[in-house]
Structure 1
Amino acid sequence: MVTLLHIDSSVFPDAASSSRSVADAFRRTWEEQHPSGRVIYRDLAADPVPHITADAHTAGFAAPTEHTPEQSAAFTARVQLIEELEQADAVLIGAPMYNYSIPSTLKAWLDNVIMLGRTTGEAPSAQGTPVTVIASRGGAYGPGTPREGYDFVQNYLEAVLKGSLGLDVDFIVPELTMAPRNPVMSGLIPLYEASRERAIRDATTKAKELAERLAA
C-alpha cells in the first residue's frame, strides 16, 4: 500500500489558503492514481503538535529503560510523528510564508521529527523519500524583486528537509497571494491568478510523476 504523508500548516481554511488549495490539487491527483492507497493527514493549524521540550529532546539521547515518566510520555508522542514520516512513500507539505519564514506549527513538527541517530545523521531513516513543498508567499521574492533575500522558507526547508533528513525535495511556489486582500496590491491580481493556476498545474503534474515513479 502506497502511503502519502500530508502536512498542512496554513491558518486559513480551504480555498482561502493558497498552500492548502495547491496541496489539495496534488492530493486529489495522488488519490486518483492510488485509489487504494493511504493518506496520513496532519493539519498543524487545527491540531498543532507540542513544541519540543527538554524531556522530549533529552529522551532521544537516552535508552528507553532510562527514561523518566515525563521523558517516556514526551518521547512516545515524538516517535509517532517520526514513524509517520518513516512510513511515507511520499510527503506533501503546505508551507506558507509568515513574516519571511515558516509557521511556528511547522517548525514544531520539524523539531519533533529531527532526531540524531535516527532521522538525521549518517543514515537518515527516511532518506530519499520524495517531498513536495507548497511554499506559498504573499509577495514576490525572486531575483530582482525589492525583497530578494527575504525568503527564509525555501532555503531553511532545503537545509532541514534535504540537508538534515536526506529527503528528495521539490518546491512549488504560488506567490503574490496577498494581492486579493491588500488594496495596494490590486494591480497584481492577474499575476497572482496566473501564479496560482501554474502552481495547481505543477502540483497535478508532480503528483502524477511521483505516482508513476513509485509504481515502476
Structure 2
Amino acid sequence: MPTLLHIDSSVWPGDASASRAVTATFRKEWEAQHPDGTVIYRDLVAEPLPHLDGAAAHAGFVPADDRTPEQHDAFALRETLAGELERADAVLIGAPMYNFTIPSTLKAWLDHVIIMGRTAGAEQTTTSGTPAVVVASRGGGYGPGTPRESFEFVTTYLDKALNGALGLEVEFVVPELTLARTNPAMANLIELADASKAKAHEDAAAKAKVLASRFAA
C-alpha cells in the first residue's frame, strides 16, 4: 500500500489555519482511497526541527562508510527525515505565507532533507519523480497582475527547492485572501476569499483522488 508524507507548518491549529484545513481535505480523500496505506505525519510546529548545524551539514558530504561516530550522530536526524521522504509515494505540504515566504520550520526541514549526491545534486536523485502537492495559503492576493505579485516567494521558492533540487513533481493549491473575514480593510474581498477557499478544497480533493489512483492495487 502507498505511503503519504504529510507535513504541516502553520502556527495556527486546525481550521484556524487555511493550509491545515486544506491539507486535511487532501488527506481525508487520500485515506478514503487507501484506508490501509501509511501516512507519515510531521507537524513542524508541534515538533519543530532544529536548524541545520555545521556538523550535520558537513556529515552530508562524507560517504556513510567513512563517517566517524560523531558524524553519524550528527547526521542521524537528516537520515531519518530523508528516509521518510524517500519512502513516500506522494508528499503533501502545508506552506502558509509568512512575511512573503515560507515558515522557518519548513525551511529547516528542507535544509535537512536536501542532501547533495543523494536527494539533490544528481541527474537522478533518490526522490526524483515523487509527486508533491503544496497548499500555499496566503492572507492577501499575490497572483499575476496584482500589486504584490513581486512579493510572492512561497511558490517561486518551493518550486526551485522541491522540483529543482529534490526532483519532485510539484503542484500547488493556493487559497488566498484568507484574512478577508477578519480584516475590516478587506471586507470587500470576502466573496472572492470564500470562492478561493472553496476552490482550494475542491482542488485538494481532486488532486488526492488523481494521485491515489496512480497507486491503485
Q: Which amino acid aligns with 1:119?
A: T
Partner of 2:7: 7
CA 1:156 to 1:16, structure 2 compared with 1: closer, same or farther past 3 Å? Answer: same
Partner of 1:134: 135
Partner of 2:91: 91
Between 169-178 and 117-126, the greater mean CA deviation after superposition: 117-126
Between 106-115 and 117-126, the greater mean CA deviation after superposition: 117-126
Q: How many residues align?
A: 216
Consecutive unaligned residues of structure 1, counting only runs of 5 or more, are none
| Aligned-residue offset at 1:70 | 4.0
Q: Which amino acid aligns with 2:84?
A: E
In structure 1, what is the Cα distance between the partners aligned to 2:70 and 2:187? 52
In structure 1, what is the Cα distance between the partners aligned to 2:99 and 2:69? 37
Matched position secondary structure for 1:169: strand
In structure 2, what is the Cα distance between the partners aligned to 1:69 and 1:177? 48
| Aligned-residue offset at 1:190 | 1.5
Partner of 1:174: 175
| Aligned-residue offset at 1:63 | 3.2
**1:113-157 deviation line (CA, Å, top 9, x unaligned):** 000010012221010000000000110011221101110000100
In structure 2, what is the Cα distance between the partners aligned to 1:168 and 1:208? 16
In structure 1, what is the Cα distance between the partners aligned to 2:34 and 2:51? 33
In structure 1, what is the Cα distance between the partners aligned to 2:207 and 2:144? 24
In structure 2, what is the Cα distance between the partners aligned to 1:59 and 1:109? 16
In structure 2, what is the Cα distance between the partners aligned to 1:182 and 1:9? 22
In structure 2, what is the Cα distance between the partners aligned to 1:175 and 1:184? 15
Superposition map of 1:17-166 within 5 A: 17-122=17-122, 123-166=124-167
In structure 2, what is the Cα distance between the partners aligned to 1:185 and 1:175? 12
Consecutive unaligned residues of structure 2, counting only runs of 5 or more, are none
| Aligned-residue offset at 1:179 | 1.1
Between 13-22 and 138-147, the greater mean CA deviation after superposition: 138-147
In structure 2, what is the Cα distance between the partners aligned to 1:62 and 1:83? 17
| Aligned-residue offset at 1:185 | 1.0
Matched position secondary structure for 2:214: helix
Between 184-193 and 48-57, the greater mean CA deviation after superposition: 184-193
| Aligned-residue offset at 1:180 | 1.8
Matched position secondary structure for 1:215: coil
- RMSD over aligned CA atoms reads 1.2
TM-score by length of 1: 0.97
Matched position secondary structure for 2:62: coil
In structure 2, what is the Cα distance between the partners aligned to 1:100 and 1:92? 21
Q: Which amino acid aligns with 2:81?
A: L
Q: Which amino acid aligns with 2:196?
A: S
In structure 1, what is the Cα distance between the partners aligned to 2:14 and 2:74? 31
Partner of 2:198: 197
**1:30-78 deviation line (CA, Å, top 9, x unaligned):** 0000010000000001111111000100001113454345432220111
Q: Which amino acid aligns with 1:165?
A: L
Structure 1 residue runs of 4 or more that deviate by more than 6 Å after TM superposition: none
Matched position secondary structure for 2:151: coil
TM-score by length of 2: 0.96
| Aligned-residue offset at 1:88 | 0.3
Matched position secondary structure for 2:152: coil
